[in-house]
Amino acid sequence: MTGQHVLDTDDGMERLMGDAGLYGMLLMRFRKDYEPAVAQIRQLLADGALESAQRKAHSLKGAAGMIGAQELHRLAELAEAGLGAHNAAQQAVLDALQAGLDKVLLAISVHLGGTDGMAGAPAPPASPQRVLDAHTHALLTRLARLLEEGNGEAIDVLEQSASVLAATLGLAGYREVAAAAHEFDFETALAALAKADPTLSA
């Protein structure tokens, strides 16, 4: 049994008002968006892009918190703060972060009931379509319209429907839209929304 400090499913479900299906979607999106996160951080550091590496660690921290992965949240926080250190300390913090991420990915596979072993192709396409019901489509359309109008109500929509939007757009996509909107950069937020959900520009 996976420890709650690795993946606290009760905490994650509580954030989604007990919606097991939505929590499962959030876990799948986390796995898709963040499985290569530590390798990406290492590459960014090798390229001399420290700020981008720190942003990636910050994004992983927020995503881990959203699904109830408290240990990984703590490790990502330490990594974000420690990436500017000399090489040996930097590598140690990234090794710890990778180990923490591996544990969470394993816990996700266990929680999802071994979906990895199935012919993964049919399941992922089906899930987004299930989420994109009439209500969700209307929500995305309304959000796009508010952003296009530069209407501050868009921030309320992002906050009130955070769980649904994160499951639909992916954690990284949602955070990009929300970050720009909170800076009142609605044009960038709209572009990020269209990137996360290309159907909006269709």
Those residues with Cβ within 8 angstroms of residue 100's Cβ, 6 or more apart along the chain or in another chain: 71, 72, 75, 76
Q: What value does the mean pLDDT take over residues 160-178?
A: 84
Q: What value does the mean pLDDT take over residues 68-76?
A: 93
Beta strands, E only, the chain? none
pLDDT digits (tens, 9 = 90+) for 101-115: 999 999 999 888 744
Q: Cα 112 from chain centroid?
A: 17
CA separation for the pair 149, 142 (Å, rounded): 11
pLDDT of residue 106: 92
**Encoded amino acid at 148, one letter:** E
pLDDT of residue 4: 65
CATH T-level fold of 9-116: Four Helix Bundle (Hemerythrin (Met), subunit A) (1.20.120)
Q: What value does the mean pLDDT take over residues 55-82?
A: 91
If you ran DSSP here, which 8-state letter would residue 1 be given? Answer: -
Domain ranges of the chain: 9-116, 132-195
Residue 157 has pLDDT above 50, yes or no: yes
The answer to whether the predicted template modeling score (pTM) of the entire model surpasses 0.75 is no
Contact 27, 108 (CB under 8 A): yes
pLDDT band at 122 (very low <50, low <70, confident <90, very high): very low
pLDDT digits (tens, 9 = 90+) for 32-53: 989 999 999 999 999 999 999 9
Lowest mean pLDDT across 41-45, 78-82, 136-140: 136-140
The count of C-alpha atoms lying within 13 angstroms of the C-alpha of 162, restricted to the half-sphere facing its C-beta, is 16
